[in-house]
Amino acid sequence: MRTKLYAAMIKLGLDPVLILDHRKPLKLKLDNVLLALGLDLDDVQWDHRPPIQQRVWDPVKRDTVPPANAAGYLEPVVGSTHSDRTDGPKTKAVARGDKTEIAKTKRLAAAHKKFVGTILAKDEKKQSSRSIPSRPFPQGRSSFRKRQK
């Protein structure tokens, strides 16, 4: 809840230090900030920008970079806007939603991994044996004609 409130306040340009007033519950503060943004409280959804699956994984911190629920990367949006961002527009002529981009990234990563494997296999093959065996020079008469004077 606190993260969502931070995100909404950042979007409004307010200082998140205002949250430190413990006399009012966080839910009330969040509702007030969302109303100040002009959003309907029943239709608000939280959108991650960039999407979590498109973030880089940090194995040391065991979290994404930026962190999954960082306040600066959560955005309160109306439900229909969120579905358009996630699934793409209703017309599928040019579907550019998050799901389409994630699937494309996975396909490209798989193709790149296969390509790198092919290149490495070729390098190992070249190092292990010669591709063209050497042949000795012919002994005896030369097949070139001598110059006539």
Local confidence pLDDT in tens for the 149 residues of the chain: 778 878 887 887 877 766 666 777 878 888 888 888 888 888 899 899 999 999 999 999 999 999 988 888 998 988 888 888 888 877 766 668 888 889 999 999 999 999 999 988 876 666 555 566 677 776 766 666 666 66
Range of the domain at 60: 2-125
Contact 2, 33 (CB under 8 A): no
The verdict on residue 135 lying in a domain is: no
Ordered DSSP codes for 23-83: TS-HHHHHHHHHHHTT--GGGEEEEESS-GGGSEEETTTTEEES-TT-GGGEEEEEHHHHH
Q: Please check whether residue 146 lies inside any domain of the structure.
A: no
- According to the model, what pLDDT value does residue 90 have? 75
What pLDDT score was predicted for residue 140?
67
CB of 72 within 8 A of CB of 4? no
Query: In the chain, how many domains are there?
Result: 1
